[in-house]
Structure 1
Amino acid sequence: MNASKPASELLRLLEIMARLRAPDGCPWDRVQDFASIAPYTIEEGHEVADAIDRGDWTGLQDELGDLLLQVVYHARMAEEAGLFGFAEVAKSVNDKMVRRHPHVFGEEAARDAAGQTVAWEAQKALERAARSETGTLAGVAANLPALTRATKLTRRAARVGFDWPDAAQVLDKLEEEAMELRRELPGADPERLADEVGDLLFVLANLARKLDLDPETCLRGANAKFERRFAAVERGLAREGRAPKDSTLEHMEALWQAAKAAERL
C-alpha cells in the first residue's frame, strides 16, 4: 500500500468528523458528549473481538473502522473543548510505544516475550508513579468488563505475592464460596445472594488466570455453545411440530444431551 494512502484516508476521516460536529452538521452528532459516546466505544471494542472470534476478516475490517471512528470522535470533542486533538492522541501512544520498547527503539539488550512482559509492567508501574497513582491496584480502569477487571486486579496482587500457589487451591476456594452461597439460599436475601455470587465469579476469574485463560473468552465460548445447543433443541422440537413452551424440561434436556453428544462425534 502506498504510504500516503493511510494518511490521506485518516485525514479524510478527521475532516468528516469535523463536518459532522459543525454547527450545520448532523443534529445527532452535534449533541453528543464523552459520556454519551463512551458506551458505543465499549460496544465497538467487543464487536472487534467478536469478529476475531468468528474469523470474519471482512467484518473485522469494518469493525476496526468503527473502533477508529470512536477514537476520532473523542479526539474531536476534546479538541472542541480545548483539551487536546487527534495529533496529541497519536503522539501520546507513539511516545509510549517507543518508551516501552527500548530493546527495539533504544540500546537495551534484546528480550524474549516473557522478558518483555516483565519490563512492560515495570515501565507501566513507573508511569503510574509519575502520575502519583500509588498502591498495587492503582490504575486498573473501573469501567472494564467485571471479569476482565477481576483478572487484572488479581494479577497485580499476584505480582507482590498475594496469590494462591496453584489452581488446585483456587478450586478449593471455589468450593468454599459455593457452600457459602448454598447457605444463603434458604433466606434468599438479595443483597447477601449478590455478595456471594460476586465472590464466586471473582474466584472463577482467578481460576482462569491461574490456568492462563482469559475468563471473558471462556464465557464467550460458553455463550456460543449454549446458543448452538439450544438452537438444536428448538430444531428438534420443530421437527415434532412443537415449540419450547409446549414441551417439558425433561424432553428438552434429552434433546440437549443429544445435541451435546452429536458435537463430540
Structure 2
Amino acid sequence: MATRSGGRTGSDAFAHLIAIVAELRQRCPWDRQQTLPEAARHLLEEAYEVVDAITAEDPDAVAEELGDLMVQALFAATIASESTGSAVPDLLEGAAKKLVGRHPHVYGDTKASTLEEVVELWDQVKAAEKGKAPKRSSLAKTGRALPALMRAEKLGVKARRRGMDWKDAREVLSKIHEELDEVTRALDAGDQAAAADEVGDLMLAIANLPRFLGRDAEQTLRRSCDKFVTRFGEVERLAGSRGLKLAQLSPQELERLWQEAKQAGRNS
C-alpha cells in the first residue's frame, strides 16, 4: 500500500518529483547546462552527505539528505534519457524488472531460506543475465567506480564467495605484518617504487580486517578521521591556551600535547 505524505501517495509524490526535475531541465538555465559527468559528481556528493547524516545518527538530516540524493539520481536519469532515448519511467521499470528477476525466491518458485543461499542465488542470476562467463577475472568489474577503500572491501567479499579468503582476523593480521615487512625491505633497499607498491598491498589487507570484526571499513576509517579531527582541535586549544604555536613546537612537544588531548578525550 502506498504511504501518504503531504496529501500525496508515495507513488504520486514520486511522479510529481519526476515532473519537477524534467521541468527544471527544460526551463532552468543552470539545470539546462548540466552534463552527465557533472550530475555524477553531484550524485556522489549527495551520497556522502547521506552517509554523514547516518553516521551522525540524525534522523531529520537522514530524511533530508535522502531526498536530495533522490533528486540528484532523478536528475542524472533525466540527462541520461536524452541520449539513450529511454524516459525516466522506462529506467525505473527496468530497475524494477531487474529486482524481481534477481529475487526468484520471493517472486518465483526458487527456494532460498538463508543469507548464504540468497547471496549464491543472486550471483547465479547475475551470471545468467550476462549470458556467458567473463573473459577476464570474475572480479574485473567489481566496484571500479568506488573509492579504493570501499572497492578493496568489496573485492574481499566477492573473493570470499568464490572460496578465497582468510580464516579469521588473526590470519589477516599475519598478512598485514607480512606486507609491512615487505614495505620495510623495499625502503631499506632504497626502492621507492617497490615500497609504494608494497604499501598498496598493505592497505588492501588492512581494508579487509574490519569485516572480520563485524565492521565496515569505510565507517571504521571515517570514525577514526573524526576522532583525529577532534583530538587535533584539542591540541590546538591546548597550545593556544599556553601561548604556543604548533608550527614552532618540536616533535617531542607536539607528542606531549597529543597525549594530553587523547587523555582529555578519554576523560570527557
Matched with 1:26 is 28
- Matches of 1:236 and 1:121 in 2, distance apart? 54
Matched with 1:227 is 229
- Matches of 1:150 and 1:91 in 2, distance apart? 32
Opposite residue 75 of structure 2, the aligned amino acid is Y
Matched with 1:213 is 215
Matched with 1:130 is 131
- Paired residue secondary structure (2:9): helix
Matched, 1:238 2:240: yes
Opposite residue 166 of structure 1, the aligned amino acid is D
Q: 1:77-226 residue pairs with structure 2 within 5 A? A: 77-109=79-111, 111-127=113-129, 129-130=130-131, 133=134, 135-186=137-188, 189-226=191-228
Matched with 1:259 is 261
- Whether the 8 Å CA contact 2:21–2:74 is kept in 1: the answer is yes
Q: Could you state the TM-score of these two structures normalised by the residue count of structure 1?
A: 0.86
- Of residues 41, 47, 50, the one that matches 1:48 is 50
C-alpha displacement of 1:155:
2.1
Measured at CA, do residues 186 and 83 of structure 1 come closer, stay the same or move farther in structure 2, by a change above 3 Å?
Answer: farther
Between the two proteins, what is the percent identity of the paired residues? 38
- Matches of 2:152 and 2:219 in 1, distance apart? 14
C-alpha displacement of 1:91:
1.4
Matched with 2:12 is 8
- Matches of 2:54 and 2:9 in 1, distance apart? 25
Pairwise CA RMSD: 2.5
Unpaired runs of 5+ residues, structure 1, are none
- Matches of 1:194 and 1:26 in 2, distance apart? 47
- Matches of 2:266 and 2:123 in 1, distance apart? 41
Measured at CA, do residues 38 and 95 of structure 1 come closer, stay the same or move farther in structure 2, by a change above 3 Å?
Answer: same
Cα deviation 1:3-45 (Å, max 9, x = unaligned): 74333332332233223322xx333322222222212222221
C-alpha displacement of 1:147:
1.4
Measured at CA, do residues 5 and 188 of structure 1 come closer, stay the same or move farther in structure 2, by a change above 3 Å?
Answer: farther
Measured at CA, do residues 188 and 86 of structure 1 come closer, stay the same or move farther in structure 2, by a change above 3 Å?
Answer: farther
- Paired residue secondary structure (1:71): helix
Opposite residue 111 of structure 1, the aligned amino acid is S
- Matches of 1:113 and 1:169 in 2, distance apart? 24
- Whether the 8 Å CA contact 2:186–2:192 is kept in 1: the answer is no
Give the number of equivalent residue pairs.
262
Opposite residue 131 of structure 2, the aligned amino acid is A
- Matches of 1:41 and 1:89 in 2, distance apart? 17
